Structure 1
Amino acid sequence: MGTFAGILTTSKLTTYRLEKLEEKVEKHNNVIERTFILEGKMTEVQHDIVDLKGVKK
């Protein structure tokens, strides 16, 4: 009976830790997506600034 309780506890702990890890990965992926979008917008802004200044690189 003790072995079964130990296995059950370990299983619950492993499941909990996997869920927390999945949450962290999701947050990380969200940051990566947002960074990619911001980089694209920055490129557009830089082009707009160049157009407004009339300066060529």
Structure 2
Amino acid sequence: MDFDPQFWVQILIYAVSFGVVYGQITTRIKYLEQKVDKHNEVVERMAMAERDIKSAHRRIDEMREELP
């Protein structure tokens, strides 16, 4: 079974095209992972800030109760 050189060129072009698309997809996935990491960091910081604010409000309320 002998293949035409045009067949091999076409296979090579398909392989290179696949590699380019695969590279673009992995790059986009890495970029999205970075964005998700930043988002998760913001969510964690907001949870800590909410906890601290709640604690501060509680202390303020306790101080108000102690004042005559």
TM value normalised by structure 2:
0.77
Unaligned runs of 5+ in 2: 1-11
Question: What do you get for the CA RMSD once the two structures are aligned?
Answer: 1.1
Partner Cα distance (1:7, 1:46) in 2:
58
Alpha-carbon deviation of 1:22? 0.1
> What's 1:32 paired with?
43
Deviation at 1:23, TM superposition (A): 0.2
Which runs of at least 4 in structure 1 moved beyond 2 Å after TM superposition?
A: none
Which residue of structure 2 aligns with residue 5 of structure 1? 16
Long gaps (5+) in structure 1: none
Q: Which has the larger radius of gyration?
A: 2
The structure showing larger relative contact order (alpha-carbon pairs under 8 Å, at least 6 residues apart) is 1
Count, aligned residues: 55
Q: How many angstroms does 1:28 deviate by?
A: 0.4
